Amino acid sequence: MNYNFKKLFNFRDVGGVVTENGEKLKEGILFGSEDLSKLTKQDIETFRQLNIKAICDLRMPSEQKSRVSRVQPGPDIELLSVSIHDKSQELTHFEFLKFLVSKLGPC
């Protein structure tokens, strides 16, 4: 699927990736992108139409403060700060995926 964002680069659906045990990650569930600080109003609307329930911000707290996300948390979107550079929160790939799945809720 083509996502038409003007100021959100490298946005992609991670679905379709084959896991180590040969299963395929369901499409439309997990997305990746750069930070959400440059979104236009139209980009925000396009983003909301994807019904994303949680945003996992992998940046350091200083990056989060200097480039604030234009998509704010609310009743429909949870913002999770999970800095991949913070050694106190270091997770294995498996632990990180378990964490993401735990935040998905019913699909």
Task: Kindly list the distances between the CA atom of residue 76 and the CA atoms of 36, 44, 50, 67, 86, in Å, as whole numbers in the listed order.
Answer: 17, 14, 12, 22, 27
Mean pLDDT for the stretch of residues 92-99? 67
Mean pLDDT for the stretch of residues 9-27? 87
Mean pLDDT for the stretch of residues 81-103? 66
pLDDT tens-digit map of 45-74: 999 999 998 888 888 888 899 999 999 888
Mean pLDDT for the stretch of residues 64-87? 84
Q: Which amino acid is at 18?
A: V
